[in-house]
Amino acid sequence: MAFDGITTAAVADEIKRRALNGRIYKIAQPENDEILLTIKTGEGTTERLFISVSASLPFVYFTDQNKKSPDKAPNFCMVLRKHMQNGRITSVLQPGLERVIRIGVEHRDEMGDMKEKFLCLELMGKYSNIIFVDEDNKVIDSIKHISESVSSVRAVLPGRDYFIPETQEKKDPLKTVDASDFMSTIKKTAMPVYKAIYSNYTGISPVEGSDLCFRAGIDGNMSTASVGDDEAEKLYSCFSGLVNDINNARFAPEIIYDKNRIPVDFAAVHLSQYEDMDAVRLDSISQVLERFYAEKNRSERIRQRSADTRKVVSTIIERDAKKYDIQLKQLESTKKKDKYRIYGELINTYGYSCAEGDKSLTCTNYYNNEEITIPLDPDKTALENAQKYFDRYQKLKRTEEAVTEQLKETKADMDHLLSVQASLDMIENEADLNEIRRELMEAGYIRGKGLSKGKKKEEAGKGLHFISSDGYDLYVGKNNFQNDYLTFKMATGNDWWFHSKKFPGSHVILKVGRGDPEAVPDRAFNEAGALAAYFSKGRGQSKVEIDYVLKKEVKKPAGSKPGFVVYYTNYSMAIEPGIEGLTEAE
């Protein structure tokens, strides 16, 4: 979700609760578009308010983390220090449901007189800004100077009047709205219902507009002209409930995660439409924002860092798939080899009846007792024709043997690379990516330094560790090196081993140790199987078939690729992918 008016309201409420009447102890400007305020509260605690007006990622939240500042403070930082340092926070206001927070600060001027000035935080996407104004609403300075040549709506320069631009005729949803006014507002123009909500009311994002429709049980894409009375009543009830929660500061900050544990959205109130995803509720909007942006940045950064590796793997898989198809066609063409062998044998048997210059030989095929006509080269003798067919047979036989071996190698390469591709979907940090790159380097797919024969290999990571509902340890390999480590170094013979039957994915170990492997409860088996399905390429399936067997039955052929194993006896289950009921261990 964008940093909408509802999120802004939650942040303003938190600033009010945690920093009102506090004194601004330090002011820093770590980046060109960031401000960090250190506030000493009346309760004797220290709070850090982090403000960013980056065009791509504006936010405001409290954080425990400090951030290094440049040796020489920028001009805007110096202005804030002059007018705000040691000042007391007297007010925190949000105009309507605008994406603006106005923080009032009381401070003595050069003459010793008490003055109140305001720090206006505008969180409006690419138009975000931090604007410092005096008690007469004149701009003292801003972190971004906006001239008339840049914006025809509002110039933001020292000495200019400060105002919030009203570029759209939207209503304030926090003001009293009855059902008829609400419906007349959203029905004034024919458009999708969810769009009509956020287009007509300030601070409502498209996601929240869609969620209101979801909660009301109507299709958000239906036209406003099609909304019936019952549907309108339900929609208004959800809308007024949301407004009531905001007015009474009843927020429920949460982060929404997809099946890959990647944060996809956040909200200051519960989003019902993400019922098939994992919603993690946190204590404050600051925790949500700090965690969301940190995890989002990390996942985006690692995805960008891994883009080249993903492309290499994808390209080789495509190349191998084409090669595999060609080899299959070559193998198919060798199926006629036995026909040439039979031709040669029949010519040797019946060739005495051939006259010089004959173009064919008709005889009985003693393999099926049917009459057969064999083409002959009239310039060759019967013996030479037989030898010609025997030569074709031998050539196709050699081709079949060679292509069969090539198919095995190509299939092994494809399976290995598909497992690497699955591992790339699970990377969480630079160390995970480096392990996969090392695997590709050792396999000769990419070039890399420091892999000489004399150099000791880096130790593989230990993978993920979960605790089952019944207290059993479950371990998951995030790549092939980790799979090998878990299966052949960490696991013992009595532990249970799980893996997707049809999809590349992780090895999962259910630790039994010296206990009785048959005494493990069914719930632990199901949770381990669901975990193996979850960390496989089949994660998006409703059910995934999982093989499981005692670890002592799992073998690794000599010279096989990382992560490759064989087993000849196993149990199977079909289970829905998931990590419900599991606790991730530190």
Residue 452 domain flag: no
Q: Which of 167, 130, 134 has the alpha carbon at shortest distance from 145?
A: 130
According to DSSP, the residues that pair with 432 across neighbouring strands are none
In this predicted model, what pLDDT tens digit does every residue of 559-584 receive, in sequence order?
889 999 999 989 999 999 988 778 88
Measure CA 410 to chain center: 30
Q: Which domain holds residue 562?
A: 464-584
* Coil vs helix vs strand at 285: helix
Nearest 10 degrees: CA dihedral of 263, 264, 270, 274?
-120
Query: CA angle, corner 434, sides to 432 and 435, nearest 5?
Result: 65
Residue 290 domain flag: yes
Residue 346 domain flag: yes
* Coil vs helix vs strand at 11: helix
In this predicted model, what pLDDT tens digit does every residue of 418-429 receive, in sequence order?
999 989 888 877
Nearest 10 degrees: CA dihedral of 80, 83, 86, 87?
-110
Residues 133 and 216 reside in one and the same domain: no
123 near 59, Cβ under 8 Å? Answer: yes
Q: Which of 372, 45, 46 has the alpha carbon at shortest distance from 37?
A: 46
Residue where one domain finishes, among candidates 142, 166, 188: 142
The whole-angstrom separation of Cα 522 and Cα 166 is 62
The whole-angstrom separation of Cα 507 and Cα 485 is 10
Residues 345 and 297 reside in one and the same domain: no
Non-local (6+) Cβ contacts of 414 within 8 A are: 317, 320, 321, 324
Q: What angle do helix axes 307-333 and 382-424 make, rounded to 10 degrees?
A: 160
Residues 337 and 409 reside in one and the same domain: yes
Residue where one domain finishes, among candidates 422, 452, 486: 422
Q: Which of 542, 502, 510 has the alpha carbon at shortest distance from 526?
A: 510
According to DSSP, the residues that pair with 256 across neighbouring strands are 265, 279
Residues 10 and 53 reside in one and the same domain: yes
187-194 average pLDDT score: 88
The whole-angstrom separation of Cα 146 and Cα 152 is 10
Output the domain CATH number for residue 88: 2.30.310.10
530-540 average pLDDT score: 91
In this predicted model, what pLDDT tens digit does every residue of 105-132 receive, in sequence order?
999 877 778 899 999 999 988 889 999 9
Phi-psi domain of 531 (left: phi exceeds 0; alpha: psi -120 through 50; beta: other):
alpha
Residues 294 and 335 reside in one and the same domain: no
Output the domain CATH number for residue 215: 1.10.8
The whole-angstrom separation of Cα 241 and Cα 244 is 5
Residue 404 has pLDDT above 90, yes or no: yes
52 near 59, Cβ under 8 Å? Answer: yes
Provide the mean pLDDT of the chain.
Answer: 90
The whole-angstrom separation of Cα 466 and Cα 468 is 6
132 near 119, Cβ under 8 Å? Answer: yes
Residue 151 domain flag: no
H or E, element range at 536: none
The whole-angstrom separation of Cα 478 and Cα 286 is 31
DSSP state of 583: E
516: tokens are 């009785």
* Coil vs helix vs strand at 51: strand
The whole-angstrom separation of Cα 479 and Cα 455 is 22
CB atoms within 10 A of CB 563: 26
Residue 40 domain flag: yes
Residues 476 and 400 reside in one and the same domain: no
Residue 456 domain flag: no
Non-local (6+) Cβ contacts of 288 within 8 A are: 253, 254, 255, 266, 268, 282
Q: What is the pLDDT of residue 166?
A: 67
pLDDT band at residue 381, thresholds of 50, 70 and 90? very high
233 near 36, Cβ under 8 Å? Answer: no
The whole-angstrom separation of Cα 209 and Cα 528 is 39
Q: What is the pLDDT of residue 528?
A: 95
Task: Give the residue, 166 or 539, on which the prediction is more confident.
Answer: 539
260 near 539, Cβ under 8 Å? Answer: yes
Residues 116 and 197 reside in one and the same domain: no
* Helix %, strand %, coil % of the chain (to 5): 40, 20, 40
Residues 341 and 274 reside in one and the same domain: no
Q: What angle do helix axes 382-424 and 430-442 make, rounded to 10 degrees?
A: 160
Burial (CB count within 10 angstroms: exposed 0-12, middle 13-18, buried 19+), residue 278: middle
Residues 77 and 132 reside in one and the same domain: yes
The whole-angstrom separation of Cα 405 and Cα 398 is 11
7: tokens are 């999120």
Q: How many domains does the chain have?
A: 4
Residues 128 and 223 reside in one and the same domain: no
Measure CA 222 to chain center: 30
Residue 451 has pLDDT above 50, yes or no: no
* Coil vs helix vs strand at 325: helix
The whole-angstrom separation of Cα 133 and Cα 104 is 10
- Cα four-point dihedral sign 128, 133, 138, 141: negative
Phi first, then psi, for residue 84 (nearest 5°) are -125, -25
468-496 average pLDDT score: 93
* Residue whose pair of structure tokens reads 């309507």 in the numeric block: 96
The whole-angstrom separation of Cα 3 and Cα 129 is 14
Task: Report if pTM > 0.75.
Answer: no
Residue 235 domain flag: yes
Residue 27 has pLDDT above 60, yes or no: yes
pLDDT band at residue 54, thresholds of 50, 70 and 90? confident
DSSP state of 197: H
Residue where one domain finishes, among candidates 302, 328, 349: 302
Residues 497 and 389 reside in one and the same domain: no
Residue 456 has pLDDT above 80, yes or no: no
In this predicted model, what pLDDT tens digit does every residue of 286-328 receive, in sequence order?
999 999 888 777 777 788 888 889 999 999 999 999 999 999 9
559: tokens are 């010279």
Residue 454 domain flag: no
Residues 275 and 335 reside in one and the same domain: no
